[in-house]
Chains A and B, each alone.
Chain A
Amino acid sequence: MKILEDFSNIFTRYDLNIEVARQEARKVSKDATLQTVADAVVVGETEECEAATKAALAAKSPMEVINDGLIPGMNEVSRLWDEGVYFLPQVILASDAMNAGIALCEEKMGKAMDKKGKVVTHTAEGDIHDIGQVIVNALLNANGFEVVNLGADVPVDKVVEACRVNNPVMVTGTALMTTTMTAFPKIAAQLKRLGLNIPFVCGGGAVSEEYVTSFELGIWGKEANQAPGMAEDALAGDNWNDMRSKWNG
């Protein structure tokens, strides 16, 4: 007869085990103060993150705290999201915590942190839920891009105007509803007319690859976490055609 030595799985409520147990952030820094900063981002605690950032700033430069604490923390959140451990609310809370930390660092620097390039983001006109865009913004921020966040329910003209004024490396559009994504080809056409050949990444619940690749400039964004990689490509000089063949099809 087999004698059980471990009783832990008897009477375990498997139905309660629907999410992978809350995971710790992987170690992102050998430095304990910076790790504390990253941990605060991972758990999405804004006040904790501000306190940790202040503590870290006593010994580290603001850019160190951003690059070796806050951003690696957000990247951990991105990983946990990819792996299905984290859900949307946690990503939003983490992004708030990171932004609060970055604000303190920028305050100490006396200027905004140097950004790689600008990305204009928006949610289509008629679509009031900017939840997909919230993640895109957070991940682009975490990867050092300056996000020109136009928010939700943005008219075509406003998106085009923001592109003209800001000259971003990339522009993104999110749509959750099939009724609203029809704004995307209109935006692309106006950008083309103005000679602004900016890669236009479109994604969201209702948006299909076939639709987005049916108009010029359009690149289909399958998942929010592709945004930083796409922005890097755009920054490196890839045009919309290069990006489409790399990310779509």
Chain B
Amino acid sequence: MTGKERVMKVFNHQKPDHMPCFSVNGTPTYEQMEKVGAYWPEAHERAEDMAKLAMAAFTVLGFDAVRVPFCQTFEAEALGCKVKSGGKENIPGIDHPPAYKLEDEPVFPDDFLQRGRIPQLIEAVRILKREVGDQVAVIGGIIGPFTIAGAMLDAVPILKASFKEPDKLLPFLDVAEKAGTALGKALIDAGADLICVEDMQASPDLIAPRTYRDLELEYQRRQVQALDVPVILHICGNVDKIVEYMTATGAEALSLEPKSDVDAARRNAAATTIIIGGVDAATTLFMKTPEVVKEAAREQIEMGLDVLAPGCAIAPGTPTDNLLAMVEVSQEYTS
């Protein structure tokens, strides 16, 4: 069974030969860069390098899916935010000061898909589809409304507004949702089998669960409904308090960090919801040994995972051996 078949079996609610293992978030590490000869920052900027580095998740690690992009700045950049390069070692971030103020009236630009590095991202998906699309699933990554709005307004102002003037955030969330959805549709057209929505800033670590319910849920739901491939919703941190709302977005799969209670998520999500989770990207995959990784992976799987994955984006300094250990564990769980 190819990785792609394995992944699609899970998303079709059938039994794969064994549990799939892949990352719904960024996959690159320095070791993979050396092995395939594609590096940051070029792999954040040029389609060929981006696809080459993404493919390492398959060719070097043996993951069942590949994934682009590796940062969270594509939509925000196209909406006018200034991007700060992360150089060779880091991912790009949004620079200060923020591009928008709460009083602004943001507009979704007609030429959104032609802006910034978006054409390169779309092309990278085309390349991945062509080169490895029959062997592994291709995941297109987009950013959730609250997180894009957070990039537009900056973290502290949007957090304050979420309590003081939530209505003022609506035009931003609207534009942000349109941005992610437009990008998601374009990535699907280019060949993405799955879309992953990363919405880091919608985590209860940052916003109150009621803010998620009252402000963000509706926009996420719109986004999920508008995308006609299975959607994976990834929110960082401990999401125990919002798992039910995450399910209500209609996302086929929820991706959780080990900080969340997989067991509770299994109970609180819909019966058909696919739960993706696994090994903590920072404290375990990056810091520990293959043996510890295996133990941690098995422990999480026993709690009810459908897909084994790093809990969040793989830290670039992560040793390849730790990632291979994770893949090895997924193969123990045959059906």
Beta-carbon contact of B287 and A88 below 8 Å: no
Residue of B90, B155, B286 touching A129 (CB-CB under 8 A): B155
A 168-205 to B, binary, CB cutoff 8 A, 1 in contact else 0: 00000000011110100000000000000000000001
Measured CB to CB, the nearest residue on chain A to B40 is A179
A128 in contact with B94 given A19-B209, A179-B89, A208-B287 (CB within 8 Å): yes
Distance between Cα atoms of A93 and B281 in the complex (Å): 32
Partner of B287 from A15, A87, A210 at Cβ < 8 Å:
A210
Tell me the interface secondary structure of chain A in the complex.
loop
Q: Are B159 and A179 in contact (CB under 8 A)?
A: no
Q: In the complex, A130→B206 CA distance in Å?
A: 12
- Within 8 Å of chain A (Cβ to Cβ): is B33? no
Contact of B155 among A93, A131, A208 (CB under 8 A): A131
Q: Are B286 and A178 in contact (CB under 8 A)?
A: yes
Chain B interface mostly: mixed
CA distance A182 to B287 in the complex (A): 12
Question: B315 in the interface, Cβ–Cβ < 8 Å?
Answer: yes
With an 8 A cutoff between CB atoms, is B96 at the interface? yes
List, in ascending order, chain A residues with CB within 8 A of B84's CB: 128, 153
Q: Tell whether A67 is near chain B: CB-to-CB under 8 Å.
A: no
A208 to B315, CA, bound (A): 13
The answer for the CA separation of A154 and B304 in the assembled complex, in Å, is: 41
Q: Note all chain A residues with C-beta closer than 8 A to B95.
A: 128
Cβ-defined contact, B282 with A205, below 8 A: yes
Q: Contact: B204 with A178, CB < 8 Å?
A: no
Q: Is B9 an interface residue (CB 8 A)?
A: no
Give A109-130 interface residues, CB cut-off 8 Å to B.
Answer: 126-130
Question: Interface readout for B186-207 with A: 1 if CB under 8 Å, 0 if not?
Answer: 0000000000000000001111
User: How many whole Å from B291's CB to the nearest CB in chain A?
Assistant: 15
List residues of chain A with CB within 8 A of the CB of B241: 18
When the two chains form the complex, which single residue of B211, B281, B282, B316 contacts A89, counting CB atoms closer than 8 Å? B211
CA distance A131 to B206 in the complex (A): 8
Q: Which residues of A contact B205 (CB under 8 A)?
A: 88, 205
From B91, B96, B163, B204, A44 is in contact (CB under 8 Å) with: B163
CB-contacts of A35-93 with B (<8 A): 44, 87-90, 92-93
**Number of contacts between A and B (CB, 8 Å)?**
87
Complex CA gap A178/B95 in Å reads 19
> What is the CA–CA distance of A153 and B90 in the complex, to the nearest angstrom?
12
User: A32–B37 Cα gap in the complex (Å)?
Assistant: 69
Per-position 1/0 for B262-286, Cβ under 8 A of A: 0000000000000000000111001
Within 8 A of A (CB), among B191-239: 204-211, 213, 236-237
Is A217 among interface residues, defined by CB-CB distance under 8 A? no
In the complex formed, the residue of B with least CB distance to A207 is: B282
Task: Please report the C-alpha to C-alpha distance between residue A87 and residue B160 in the assembled complex, in whole angstroms.
Answer: 11
Whether B204 pairs with A87 at a CB distance below 8 angstroms is yes
**Are B155 and A179 interface neighbours, CB within 8 A?**
no
- Give every chain A residue within 8 A of B93 (Cβ-Cβ): 126-128, 153
Q: Which residues of B contact A88 (CB under 8 A)?
A: 159, 205-207
> Do A208 and B209 form a contact, CB below 8 Å, given A88-B159, A178-B317?
no
Question: Contact partner of B159 among A89, A153, A180, CB < 8 A?
Answer: A89
> Which interface residue of B156, B237, B281, B316 has the most chain A CB atoms within 10 A?
B156
Kindly list chain A residues whose C-beta atoms are within 8 Å of the C-beta of B244.
Answer: 15
Q: How far is the CB of A152 from chain B (nearest CB, A)?
A: 8
User: Which of A126, A178, A205 counts the most chain B CB atoms within 10 A?
Assistant: A178
Q: Which of B133-162 contact A (CB under 8 A)?
A: 155-156, 159-160, 162
Chain B positions within 8 Å of A178 at CB level:
281-282, 286, 315-317
Q: Report chain A residues within 8 Å CB of B91.
A: 177, 179
CB of B282 within 8 A of CB of A208, answer yes
Across the interface, do B211 and A179 meet the contact criterion of CB distance under 8 Å? Answer: no
B120 to chain A, nearest CB (A): 21
Q: State in angstroms the CA–CA spacing of A130 and B241 once bound together.
A: 24
B86 close to A (CB within 8 Å) = yes
A42 to B316: give the CA distance in the assembly, Å.
41
Please give me the residue from chain B that is nearest to A209 by CB atom: B283
Listed by A's residue number, 16 A-B pairs whose Cβ atoms lie within 8 Å are: A87-B204, A87-B206, A88-B159, A89-B211, A126-B86, A126-B90, A128-B94, A130-B155, A130-B156, A131-B159, A152-B96, A177-B90, A179-B90, A179-B315, A208-B287, A210-B287
Q: A179-B89, A205-B237 are in contact. List 16 more A-B contacts (CB 8 A).
A: A18-B209, A18-B210, A44-B163, A89-B159, A89-B162, A90-B163, A128-B84, A128-B93, A128-B96, A130-B156, A153-B93, A177-B90, A179-B91, A179-B317, A182-B317, A207-B282
Hey, which bits of chain B sit against chain A, CB under 8 A? 84, 86, 89-91, 93-96, 155-156, 159-160, 162-164, 204-211, 213, 236-237, 241, 244, 281-283, 286-287, 315-317
Binding site for B on A (CB under 8 A): 15, 18-19, 44, 87-90, 92-93, 96, 126-131, 134, 152-153, 177-180, 182, 205-208, 210-211
5 smallest A-B Cβ distances: which pairs?
A178-B315, A87-B208, A89-B159, A206-B282, A208-B283
